[in-house]
């Protein structure tokens, strides 16, 4: 059994997140921990980058969620877990320092699942992106970002650049989702220069898990072309270690994984060492 955190901002229950965990449970039992976060701490978000403002964060307050909405979503979560045979626990915390609180939860979990569209969508797209990226950086377990129209993956796309983060992400994904190994796997080096780094070594690792493997290099010049290429594969799930970079560099020059996440079209698995 794996311990899986489902994080909701209290007012927004994500059907996509629940569907993902429901499908996980259909393969092997999970303990679903619903973490309901009833407030957003703008002070924490503003200074979580070492004093560098993240996106359009000019507010200096904590905004509480509607308590009735939180109670309603908790009740719905418990009822849906019972109806689908999922063992569940609810963690409800009204404290400040949400990112730190959630990061502490991830220390004692196997996986964190967030709705890429619904998680704190009320604060605006740019601020929401900052918040999700910051949570992902601070997480001490792998994170899955799920669109609301989530569909079970039929293809696994590994974003690979030869770094320890990209290889670590591949291994963690294989350990957490052994039932996906029967699918088609594509390992892609998104680069216009050189060759696939250490191709022989990464292929030796992948053949231990996947029978149908393709390895390629795709020269992509912008985010739109990257996304179009990936969406051409039926129901893809993207696996990446791209968030291993520092927070400051992430916001000076966005990684392609952040740009893909913004459009809420792909299920993304991301982790770092």
Q: What is the pLDDT of residues 194-246, one digit of tens each?
A: 788 999 999 999 999 998 999 988 776 655 666 677 767 778 898 988 654 44
| Last residue within a domain, chosen from 146, 176, 209 | 146
Which structural domain, as residue segments, surrounds residue 33?
A: 2-146
Identify which has the larger pLDDT, 86 or 225: 86
Residue 49 sits at φ, ψ, to 5 deg, of -105, 35
Residues 109 and 161 in one domain: no
Token reading at 243: 């968030």
Mean pLDDT of 77-94: 91
- The sheet carrying 155-159 orders its strands as 87-92, 30-36, 2-8, 111-115, 143-146, 267-270, 236-240, 155-159, 184-190, 213-218
| Last residue within a domain, chosen from 146, 166, 195 | 146
Residues 166 and 126 in one domain: no
Q: Give every CB contact of residue 247 below 8 A, 6+ residues apart in sequence.
A: 48, 49, 50, 133, 134, 137
Per the CB < 8 A criterion, the answer to whether 232 and 202 are in contact is no
N- to C-terminal Cα separation, the chain: 23
pLDDT at 141 over 80: yes
Give the DSSP letter of residue 161: -
Domain count, the chain: 2
Q: What is the pLDDT of residues 4-51, one digit of tens each?
A: 999 887 677 889 999 999 999 999 999 999 988 765 655 554 554 444
Residues 162 and 139 in one domain: no
CATH number at 46 reads 3.40.50.620
Per-residue pLDDT, 269: 93
| Last residue within a domain, chosen from 146, 165, 180 | 146
Per-residue pLDDT, 51: 42
pLDDT at 129 over 90: no
Give the DSSP letter of residue 91: E
Residues 177 and 251 in one domain: yes
Per-residue pLDDT, 194: 73
């Amino acid at each position: 059994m794996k311990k899986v955190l489902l994080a909701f901002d209290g007012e927004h229950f994500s059907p996509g997140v629940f569907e993902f965990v429901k499908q996980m449970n259909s393969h092997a039992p999970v303990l679903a921990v619903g973490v309901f976060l009833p407030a957003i701490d703008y002070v924490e978000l503003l200074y979580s980058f070492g004093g560098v403002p993240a996106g359009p964060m000019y507010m200096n307050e904590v905004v509480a969620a509607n308590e009735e909405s939180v109670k309603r979503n908790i009740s719905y979560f418990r009822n849906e877990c019972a109806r689908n045979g999922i063992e569940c626990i609810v963690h409800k915390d009204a404290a400040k320092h949400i990112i730190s609180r959630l990061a502490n939860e991830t220390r004692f979990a196997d996986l964190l699942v967030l709705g890429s569209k619904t998680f704190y969508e009320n604060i605006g797209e740019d601020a929401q992106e900052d918040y999700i990226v910051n949570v992902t950086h601070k997480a001490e377990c792998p994170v899955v970002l799920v669109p609301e129209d989530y569909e079970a993956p039929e293809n696994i796309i590994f974003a690979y650049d030869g770094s320890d983060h990209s290889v670590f992400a591949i291994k963690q994904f294989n350990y957490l989702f052994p039932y996906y190994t029967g699918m088609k796997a594509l390992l892609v080096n998104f680069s216009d220069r050189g060759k696939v780094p250490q191709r022989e070594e990464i292929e030796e690792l992948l053949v231990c898990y996947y029978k149908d493997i393709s390895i390629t290099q795709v020269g992509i010049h912008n985010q739109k072309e990257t996304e179009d290429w990936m969406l051409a594969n039926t129901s893809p799930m993207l696996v990446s270690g791209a968030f291993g970079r520092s927070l400051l560099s992430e916001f000076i020059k966005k990684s392609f994984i952040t740009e893909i996440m913004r459009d809420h079209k792909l299920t993304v698995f991301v982790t770092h060492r």
